[in-house]
Copies of this chain bind each other. A is one copy, B any other.
Amino acid sequence: MHISELDTPAVLIDLDRMERNIRRAQEHCGRHGKAMRPHIKTHKIPQIARMQVEAGAVGITCAKLGEVEVMVGAGLREILLAYPIVGEAKLRRLVRVAQEANLTVAFDSLEVAQGISEAVGRYGEGSGREIGALVEIDTGMGRCGIAPGPEMVALCRRVADLPGLRFRGLMTYQGWVTGTAEERAAKLQTEDERLKRILGDLAEAGLETPVVSGGSTPTLFQSHLVEPITENRAGTYVFNDVNTVSTGAVTLDDCAMRIAVTVVSTAVPGQIIIDGGSKTFTSDRSAGPGEVTHGYVVEDPELRFVKMNEEHGYVKRDRSTKSYRIGDRLHVIPNHVCVAMNMHEEVYGHRNGEVVETWPVAARGKLR
C-alpha cells in the first residue's frame, strides 16, 4: 500500500531516514568511546528500540515504569528508568520487572532510594537481584536533581550502602544547553569542567562511578566535548522535529516522521482547515523565535499552521501561491515529535512511500 492510500491523520515514518539517524548517532558515539542508551519516549515502539540496540546501543532509557514493562515484555533487557519511583504500587511493579531485566533507576533523594531498597527486600523473594542506581544531579535544568556538593556526596555514599541497590554513578541532562553550535560548545566546556570536579569529589569519598549518563539531541554530535559522560540518552534524534531543526543541529532532511492530514474545509477566505489539531499534534509550541506555529508543512512552506482546536488545524494560506481544495493531502513535521507520537495508536513505516510496517505505539500513554 502507498502512503497516499492511508486514511488521515496518519503518522508516517520514513524508515531510510530513521535508520540513517540511528546509524549516524551510533557512529559518532562509537568514535568517541561513548555508549548510546536512547530514550524511547520519542517513539514508544519496541520494534524501533530493538533496531537501536541492534545498531549498537547498550540499552534503552524509559521515562515511566509502564514503558519499562512494555519494553521488557517485548524482549528488551538493558534498561534505565530515568524517573524517581514513589509509592507502594509502583515499587511492587518495579521489583517484579527487575527480575526479568538488567534495570537501573535514577533518583535525587534518600527517600526514593530507601523506598526502592526496602521494596527489593519485600518483593524480591530472596532472588539476590539488585537494582542499579544513578543519583540524578542538577546541572542547570532546575528540574529534578540534587545540587552538586557535600550533600550530594553524602547521598551517593548512603545509596552505595543500601541493600538491594548497586550504586553505579550519576545522571545528568543537557536539555538546558541551547543556542548556536558555538554557544552550546562553550556551555558543554563548562559542563565538562564541572562534572570532572564532581567526579573528583566522589572518588575522594571512595565512590566508583562507572556510569555518567547524560546528553540530549541538540548536543548529540558534540557529546565528545564532555569527557566524563559515558552514555548518551538522546531520544528525539531518531526522528527529529521542527524544534531540533531550529537548534541548527540537524536539517529538515533529517526529519523522519511526518503526519499526513487532509484539507476538510476551505470556507473561510485565506485559510484552510486540516483534520489534525491539538489531539493530533499536541499544543506544544515551537521553541524557536518568531511567529508561533504548530508544524512545518512539507509541500508548501508558505502555509502557516497558526492555530489549533482539538480536531481542527487552522492553516493560513495568504502567503502561498498555490490553491487548495477539500480532500487535498498535506504532510506536517511536528514541533515536538515525542508528544505527537503519544497521541497516535499506530504508525506506518515506509520506504519511498511504500508502507512496509504498521507498528502499534505499544508504550503510548503509559502514565504510571
Measured CB to CB, the residues of A under 8 A from B are: 7-9, 41, 63-64, 83-84, 86-87, 89-90, 108-109, 111-112, 136, 138, 142-147, 262-268, 271, 273, 275-276, 278-280, 282-285, 309-312, 314, 325-327, 338-339, 342-345, 365, 367-368
Contacts and interface: CB of A to CB of B under 8 A. Distances in A.
Contact of A264 (B84, B267, B271, B325): B84
Contacts of A280: 367
A271 B142 contact: yes
Contact of A283 (B108, B145, B283): B283
User: Which secondary structure dominates where chain A touches chain B?
Assistant: loop
A320 to B, nearest CB: 18
Nearest to A361: B365
A282 B136 CA distance: 25
Given A282-B282, A314-B143, A367-B276, A87 B268 contact: no
Interface centre among A9, A138, A279, A314 (most CB of B within 10 A): A279
A311 B262 contact: no
Contacts of A84: 264-265, 326
Interface centre among A109, A143, A262 (most CB of B within 10 A): A143
B283 A142 contact: no
B7 A90 contact: yes
Contacts of A282: 278, 282-283
A55 B147 CA distance: 56
A86 B275 contact: yes
B267 A109 contact: yes
A7 B343 CA distance: 22
Contacts of A145: 265, 267-268
Contact of A144 (B112, B136, B273): B273
Contacts of A64: 311
Given A138-B267, A339-B310, A284 B273 contact: no
A189 B208 CA distance: 74
Given A83-B311, A282-B282, A345-B367, 16 more contacts: A7-B89, A7-B368, A9-B368, A41-B310, A41-B311, A83-B275, A84-B264, A86-B263, A87-B262, A109-B265, A112-B264, A143-B273, A143-B314, A144-B265, A145-B265, A278-B282
A176 to B, nearest CB: 12
A298 B327 CA distance: 46
Contacts of A344: 365, 367
Contacts of A326: 84, 86, 109, 111-112
A284 B311 CA distance: 14
A339 B7 contact: no
A142 B315 CA distance: 12
A187 B196 CA distance: 64
Interface centre among A7, A8, A276, A314 (most CB of B within 10 A): A7
A346 to B, nearest CB: 10
16 contacts: A63-B310, A64-B311, A84-B326, A108-B267, A109-B266, A111-B327, A136-B267, A143-B265, A143-B309, A144-B264, A144-B265, A144-B267, A144-B273, A145-B268, A276-B367, A283-B285
A106 B339 CA distance: 30
Nearest to A338: B310
Contacts of A90: 7
